[in-house]
Amino acid sequence: MRKFATLLIALLLSTTAVAATPSEGVPLKVRRGFFTETDIGGILTVGGDDGYSNLQVYLQLGLGYQFALKEGMGIIPVGFHVGIGANAANCHAGKTNGGVCNSSDNFTMTFLSVSAGYLHRVVERLYLGGKIIGGYTLLDPEPVAGVNGGVNIGVAASLEYATNMDHFSVGVDVSYRIIIGPNINVLAFFPRVQYTF
């Protein structure tokens, strides 16, 4: 029985060893094209009656397409993202004489955004650039009476690194957006994990 178990383990290990293409002498080709990504970071609002909000968690999911330029020297990423974060303890509707906000100073922001940008290769696999962002933001509860949403526009600085793991890139974005209507300024930063098909 012991010989059979040893033979079975040796057979399984040898099959696993030959299953993958050996990496020696085969250069990694960074994949470009359709991608999905998951981002998690932080968000806060600036301005308002309290100056700034408390830092809150920001979660964003997205999909898009990356166009490669000049044999990979540049990338044009185009995407659609859904992000959710919160404003905590920053009033945007003015305060009463007693210091109480006229509306809610704690509210959720749900961003439905499209983005397009350019990333330039700095060194092999490392890209630096920026994006423009635009879309619509849902606000709940209303931060200003009668306003439960507004168009958002903004910009982001981006850093991206194509890892040695096939299909995977990591990066970080730092973004500024303004929600037009209630005129809420939003800062966010989020590391990104991206899978390219």
Tell me the domain boundaries of the chain: 32-196
- The DSSP symbol for 6 reads H
CA angle 39, 47, 153 (to 5 degrees): 50
Output the average pLDDT for the chain: 89
Alpha-carbon distance of 41 to 85, in angstroms, equals 10
Q: Give the pair of three-digit tokens for residue 169.
A: 């890139």
For the domain covering 32-196, report its CATH number: 2.40.160.20
Report CA Rg, the chain.
23
N-terminal to C-terminal alpha carbon distance within the chain? 45
Question: Is the distance from CB of 194 to CB of 167 less than 8 angstroms?
Answer: no
Q: What is the pLDDT of residue 26?
A: 65
pLDDT in tens, 118-152: 999 999 889 999 999 999 999 999 999 889 999 99
149-163: pLDDT as tens digits? 999 999 999 999 999
Could you tell me if 164 and 155 are in contact, meaning their C-beta atoms sit under 8 angstroms apart?
no
Check pLDDT > 50 for residue 19: no
Confidence of residue 15 (pLDDT cuts 50, 70, 90): very low
pLDDT at 171: 95
Confidence of residue 106 (pLDDT cuts 50, 70, 90): very high
Confidence at 39, pLDDT banded by 50, 70, 90 = very high
Q: What pLDDT is stored for residue 16 in this prediction?
A: 47
CA distance 57 to 25: 43
Q: Is a pLDDT exceeding 70 seen at residue 23?
A: no
CA-CA distance, 186 to 143, in Å (whole number)?
Answer: 14
